[in-house]
């Protein structure tokens, strides 16, 4: 059983929950003006784990034939036979139920918007079949994270800085565009849509730079709108450095270090913005 759980966790890259969860906590901290209550923290964490697990499991299920045909992904758990389809579906259903339960434990509005949030994350898995803007859809799905954290605390949308969600949207769209370069040739041959397969790697990289510049400007606007102090802008300076480093070590001609860019730097960015936001709020209180 433990081995199977480990295989399922690897299948959905459970550790990458770190991309979205810090932004959920950022939204919660902004709503609370500091550290939210322990109950909110626990249920927000549970909801994020449930939603992401359901979304990633669903993605692996609906894409298994493409994964099987793609040399880069042929050894994933479902194509290789390590995980049966029934096991994957059981994980998706249980994770979705966990997500809804956690939302119900927070407040009525969180529960009311939860079906829309989960539906959007599941819908993303189909977008490569018909639009090159699939990266934007993924960004939109993750952009709900800080909004969810805000609603978890306040039970309302009033006062929410939507520029924060817009920043998350373009940050995700940027790094997903870069990551999609790994499969640009396969996607083109398989009639799948992505910016690299339709525009070419070079132009897709340029668009990713634009997305990340726009994300940085929107994150800066969040600080202005919420009246955050120097700690937040110090975090933004580190974020700018991490974004620059991503585009420095990965180029259209050399994708060999893309995993360092995708995993390390993006986890660093989400954690940095969360910590910088929290430090700013705590020092403003004092």
pTM (2 decimals)?
A: 0.94
Where exactly are the structural domains of the chain?
Answer: 33-107, 128-286
For the segment 204-237, what is each residue's pLDDT rounded down to a tens digit?
Answer: 999 999 999 999 999 999 999 999 999 999 999 9
Which residues are within 8 A (CB) of 65 and not within 5 positions of it... i.e. 6 or more apart? none
For the segment 61-105, what is each residue's pLDDT rounded down to a tens digit?
Answer: 999 999 999 999 999 999 999 999 999 999 999 999 999 999 999
State whether residue 254 is helix, strand or coil: strand
H/E stretch holding 170 reads helix 162-179
Return the number of other C-beta atoms located less than 10 Å from residue 159's C-beta: 11
Q: Does CATH place domain 128-286 in 1.20.120.1780?
A: yes
CATH architecture for the domain at 33-107:
Orthogonal Bundle (1.10)
Measured between alpha carbons, how far apart are the two ends of the chain, in Å? 49
Instruction: Work out the average pLDDT over 157-161.
Output: 97
């Amino acid at each position: 059983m433990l081995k199977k759980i480990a295989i399922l966790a690897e299948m959905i890259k459970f550790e990458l929950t770190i991309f979205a969860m810090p932004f959920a906590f950022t939204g919660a901290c902004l709503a609370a003006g500091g550290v939210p209550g322990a109950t909110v923290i626990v249920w927000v964490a549970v909801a994020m784990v449930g939603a992401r697990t359901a979304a990633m499991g669903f993605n692996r299920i609906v894409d298994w034939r493409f994964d099987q045909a793609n040399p880069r992904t042929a050894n994933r758990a479902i194509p290789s036979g390590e995980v049966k389809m029934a096991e994957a579906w059981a994980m998706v259903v249980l994770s979705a139920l966990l997500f809804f339960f956690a939302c119900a434990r927070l407040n009525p509005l969180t529960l009311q918007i939860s079906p829309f949030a989960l539906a959007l994350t599941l819908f993303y898995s189909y977008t490569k079949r018909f639009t090159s803007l699939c990266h934007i859809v993924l960004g939109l799905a993750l952009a709900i994270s800080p909004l969810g954290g805000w609603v978890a605390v306040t039970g309302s949308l009033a006062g929410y800085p939507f520029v924060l969600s817009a920043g998350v949207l373009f940050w995700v769209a940027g790094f997903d565009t870069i990551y999609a370069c790994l499969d640009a040739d396969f996607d083109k041959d398989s009639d799948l849509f992505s910016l690299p397969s339709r525009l070419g790697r070079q132009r897709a990289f340029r668009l990713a730079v634009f997305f990340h510049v726009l994300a940085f400007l929107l994150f800066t606007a969040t600080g202005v709108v919420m009246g955050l102090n120097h700690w937040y802008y110090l975090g933004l300076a580190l974020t700018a450095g991490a974004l620059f480093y991503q585009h420095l070590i990965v180029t259209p001609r050399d994708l060999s270090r893309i995993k360092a860019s995708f995993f390390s730097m993006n986890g660093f960015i989400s954690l940095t913005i969360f910590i910088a936001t929290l430090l700013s709020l705590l020092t403003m209180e004092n």
